[in-house]
Amino acid sequence: MECKTFNALWLTDIDGTLIPSNNASPLVFSRISSFLKVLENYCVLTVPVTFKTRAELKELSRTLNYSFKAYVAEGGCSIIISQTLANPYQWKAGDGEEVITLCRNRSVLNVVFHSVDNTSCRDRYVRLTSLTPREASELLNASLKEAENAVKREFTEVVYSGSSECQQLIEKEAVSHGFKAFRTHRFLHLGEAGKEEAVKLLLNLIGYRVKGLTISSGDSPADAEFLRLAETSIIVSNSHTEWFRKYPYVKITNNIPHSLIDIISRHLLLKQPFE
């Protein structure tokens, strides 16, 4: 089913929001897949906004047996729009997708690590792209296939350090060199753009086709800026949410993804107000 206009737009983070961060079962993926297809039948456009790579998102689509019409990858550095969604007068790609990049190659980030390597933190951090797939699998607590796709980063770097002092130093160095740094639950993500910039550009490109409500969902301060762009924001978190300054918002504390599916379903499909 092709929708000329959409009754709603759902912008959502993936890990820890739509999908549990660790060891999601086939039943979970089946439930998510079925729900996304129901939303599509009601002309609700779902757009992942994530730090995942393009390769990871393609694999996720295969796992879900569902094709997203648009998604934001690598924390805002890449916007991918399908041919069915893109403005035909702007269409350039020949493989079914239009790719818009907001960042340069991740090699520009090397200057940050050259600076860090002159400090006591030299051997106290790891860059995801420097690891073998097996090493990345252990660090991410993910399958080998997932790890292989996670290290295929074009624009961003993911950093892990067991030292909060070193994490703060790397973040400070990145910002001092003009880059952006975003903390998630375990990692530091470095790049040249954020989710907010990518979502704003995406809305400029396709917003005219959305005639109803825009909802956003995320689970960490790294999602805060793009969450604020929606009319209704949903935070999936068991911890404090002082980092989110827009009111009102909805908070979900557990049972991923079922609680999120329930509240999206009640509001978009059953037209019930949020409590």
Per-residue pLDDT reduced to its tens digit, 92-102: 555 678 899 99
Identify which of 214, 243, 168 has the alpha carbon closest to the alpha carbon of residue 49.
Answer: 214
CATH topology of domain 6-102+194-268: Rossmann fold (3.40.50)
- The DSSP H or E segment spanning 172 is helix 164-176
* 63 pLDDT above the threshold of 60: yes
Residue 91 pLDDT: 54
Per-residue pLDDT reduced to its tens digit, 211-238: 999 999 999 999 999 999 999 999 999 8
Task: Compute the average pLDDT of residues 252-275.
Answer: 83
- The DSSP H or E segment spanning 9 is strand 6-12
Question: 161 phi and psi, to 5 degrees?
Answer: -145, 135
Q: Is 106-191 a CATH 3.30.980.20 domain?
A: yes
Q: What percent of the chain is predicted at pLDDT more than 90?
A: 84
Helix, strand, or coil here: 81?
Answer: strand
Q: Where are the domains of the chain?
A: 6-102+194-268, 106-191
Instruction: Grade residue 89 by pLDDT with cuts at 50, 70 and 90.
Output: very low
- Residues 190/239/32/133 CA torsion (nearest 10 deg): 40
Q: What percent of the chain is predicted at pLDDT more than 70?
A: 95
Residue 151 pLDDT: 98
Task: Compute the average pLDDT of residues 60-71.
Answer: 97
> What single string gives the DSSP state of each residue in 102-124?
-S--GGGGHHHHHHHTTSTTTTS
| Per-residue buried b or exposed e for 223-251, using 16+ beta carbons within 10 Å of the residue's own CB | bbbbbebbebbbbbbeeeeeebeeeebbe
Tell me the C-alpha distance between 238 and 244, whole Å: 14
Helix, strand, or coil here: 11?
Answer: strand
Residue 17 pLDDT: 96
